[in-house]
């Protein structure tokens, strides 16, 4: 399959090409870190508890910076933030890699590297989301989000982990850490070539930095709460992740083993299938105009992407599960491609960083709950029942969301096939 000229149109912009290359390098580095950290912990004599410390530190870093990162993305030039993000990924990991090669890496330092890398992730999403519409015209935003949607699963889920695994096997975890840091440093070089765009000026408010931060966050939260389409769709996404993430991440290996006789290799094929489906779907969506019924299409794509999860709990053939994973990835990532475009088109640019960070935090808030509940639910109700709920609950929730929030009426009142004046955007 080849991408259409519409899907590749953003790449005609030199600034966007630099941004896209920096994102690609960062995705490879993040995927490589996820694998390298595991084997570095093992090489240091650690087990599950120690690995939980490193991965947990990364999650804490992300959660700690996501909301402040939204404010910074609206108040500080995004290029500065992206430079900080790539350096937070490069410098601590490079130091850990050098100490690992020298045989002097303490486990707490690896956890600190994970903490700082996670902090960079929390800063990255709102800064990147706010910068894209400043570099491209409105009619190219869907294509840009489609390209990102294609890169993310292929580079983060496939390329980065594969390269890291090969380097760990051929050399050492320390060498893989150094290569990961070098990749992030290359992303820094790309970001330095981006234009320095002026930041939005804050309205009159508290002079104290902490109070100003809180005031800015509250302003973004107020916009989210009063904007019906945004709040309703975000709540639907949160509930969808609540019922699907845990079964996908925790129960899939056991369902493969018990029903289809699969093991680690088959599990990796399922994960790869989801990534490939997501990449192809993102390119297809990017190759076409933004749907006229964009809220309905996004919601139904997400719901349709959940339906194949029923096969995860019932299929006795690995190829069937892999095929279902392709469809899951296609639905979820296709919807995400449109969703990212909606934020950039209907949220005022002065609020886009904060709304993007709230989207990131709110949509993921119930993921830890889902992961924690998946094991007990799978043991108590059974794997088939868990995946049945994961597959069938989201379509029901989607219909309820469309009707209760009157999303079809909203999208008819705010068509995106013609420019929408910014003062009225999103209202």
The yes-or-no verdict on residue 119 having pLDDT over 80 is: yes
Neighbours of 292 (CB within 10 A): 12
Confidence band of 356 (pLDDT split at 50, 70, 90): confident
Select the more confidently predicted residue: 157 or 335: 335
The yes-or-no verdict on residue 421 having pLDDT over 70 is: no
* pLDDT confidence of residue 1: 47
23/145 Cα distance (integer angstroms): 12
183/177 Cα distance (integer angstroms): 10
Select the more confidently predicted residue: 397 or 61: 397
pTM reported for the whole predicted model = 0.76
Superfamily, domain 208-419 = MFS general substrate transporter like domains (1.20.1250.20)
1-194 and 208-419, same CATH topology: yes
Average pLDDT over residues 150-172: 86
pLDDT tens for each residue of 236-288: 999 999 999 888 877 888 888 888 887 767 877 887 888 889 889 998 998 88
The phi, psi pair for 136, rounded to 5°, reads: -125, 155
The yes-or-no verdict on residue 416 having pLDDT over 60 is: yes
Q: Is-contact 286 139, C-beta < 8 A?
A: no
Confidence band of 299 (pLDDT split at 50, 70, 90): very high
CATH of domain 1-194: 1.20.1250.20
Checking phi first, is residue 103 left (phi over 0); if not, alpha (psi -120 to 50) or beta? Answer: left
Average pLDDT over residues 378-386: 88
The yes-or-no verdict on residue 368 having pLDDT over 80 is: no
DSSP 197: P
Confidence band of 200 (pLDDT split at 50, 70, 90): low
Confidence band of 203 (pLDDT split at 50, 70, 90): low
* pLDDT confidence of residue 264: 66
**Which of the residue ranges 108-117, 254-263, 413-422 would you say has the lowest mean pLDDT?**
413-422
234/405 Cα distance (integer angstroms): 12
Average pLDDT over all residues of the chain: 86
Confidence band of 425 (pLDDT split at 50, 70, 90): very low
Neighbours of 198 (CB within 10 A): 7
Select the more confidently predicted residue: 319 or 209: 319
23/33 Cα distance (integer angstroms): 15
Helix (H, G, I), strand (E, B) or coil at 402: helix
Whole-number Cα distances in Å, 51 to 43, 127, 132, 224, 249:
11, 29, 35, 36, 17
243/367 Cα distance (integer angstroms): 9
Helix (H, G, I), strand (E, B) or coil at 27: helix
* pLDDT confidence of residue 422: 44
46/169 Cα distance (integer angstroms): 18
Q: Is-contact 259 314, C-beta < 8 A?
A: yes
Distance from CA of residue 282 to its chain's centroid? Answer: 14
Which sequence spans correspond to the domains of the chain? 1-194, 208-419
Average pLDDT over residues 311-317: 89
Confidence band of 109 (pLDDT split at 50, 70, 90): very high
Q: Is-contact 144 283, C-beta < 8 A?
A: no
The yes-or-no verdict on residue 183 having pLDDT over 70 is: yes
Share of the chain above pLDDT 90, in %: 41
């Amino acid at each position: 399959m080849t991408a259409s000229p519409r899907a590749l149109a953003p790449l005609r912009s030199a600034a966007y090409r630099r941004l896209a290359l920096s994102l690609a390098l960062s995705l490879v580095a993040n995927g490589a870190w996820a694998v390298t950290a595991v084997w570095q912990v093992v090489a240091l004599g650690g087990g599950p508890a120690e690995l939980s410390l490193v991965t947990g530190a990364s999650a804490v870093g992300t959660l700690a910076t996501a909301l402040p990162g939204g404010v910074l993305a609206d108040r500080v030039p995004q290029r500065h933030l992206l430079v900080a993000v790539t350096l937070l990924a490069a410098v601590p990991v490079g130091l850990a890699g050098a100490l690992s090669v020298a045989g002097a890496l303490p486990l707490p330092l690896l956890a600190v590297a994970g903490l700082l890398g996670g902090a960079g992730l929390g800063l990255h999403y709102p800064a990147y989301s706010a910068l894209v519409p400043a570099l491209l015209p409105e009619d190219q935003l869907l294509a840009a989000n489609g390209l990102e949607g294609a890169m993310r699963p292929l580079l983060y889920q496939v390329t980065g982990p594969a390269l890291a695994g090969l380097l760990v096997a051929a050399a050492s975890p320390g060498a893989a850490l150094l290569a990961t840091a070098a990749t992030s440093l290359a992303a820094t070089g790309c970001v330095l070539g981006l234009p320095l765009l002026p930041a939005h000026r804050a309205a009159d408010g508290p002079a104290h930095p902490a109070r100003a931060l809180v005031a800015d966050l509250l302003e973004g939260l107020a916009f989210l709460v009063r904007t019906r389409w945004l709040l309703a769709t975000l709540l639907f996404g949160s509930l969808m992740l609540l019922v699907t993430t845990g079964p996908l991440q925790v129960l899939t290996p056991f369902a493969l083993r018990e029903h289809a006789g699969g093991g680690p290799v088959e599990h990796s094929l399922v994960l790869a299938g989801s990534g490939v489906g997501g990449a192809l779907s993102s390119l297809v969506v990017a190759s076409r105009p933004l749907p006229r019924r964009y809220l309905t299409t996004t919601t139904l794509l997400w719901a349709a992407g959940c339906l194949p999860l029923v096969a995860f709990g019932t299929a006795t053939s690995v190829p069937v599960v892999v095929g279902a994973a392709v469809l899951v990835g296609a639905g979820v990532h296709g919807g995400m491609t449109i969703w990212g475009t909606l934020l950039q088109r209907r949220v005022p640019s002065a609020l886009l960083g904060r709304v993007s960070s709230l989207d990131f935090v709110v949509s993921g808030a119930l993921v830890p709950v889902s992961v924690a509940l998946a094991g007990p639910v799978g043991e108590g109700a059974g794997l088939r029942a868990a995946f049945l709920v994961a597959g069938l609950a989201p379509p029901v929730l989607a219909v309820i969301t469309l009707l209760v929030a009157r999303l079809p009426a909203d999208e008819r009142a705010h068509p995106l096939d013609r420019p929408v004046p910014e003062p009225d955007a999103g209202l």
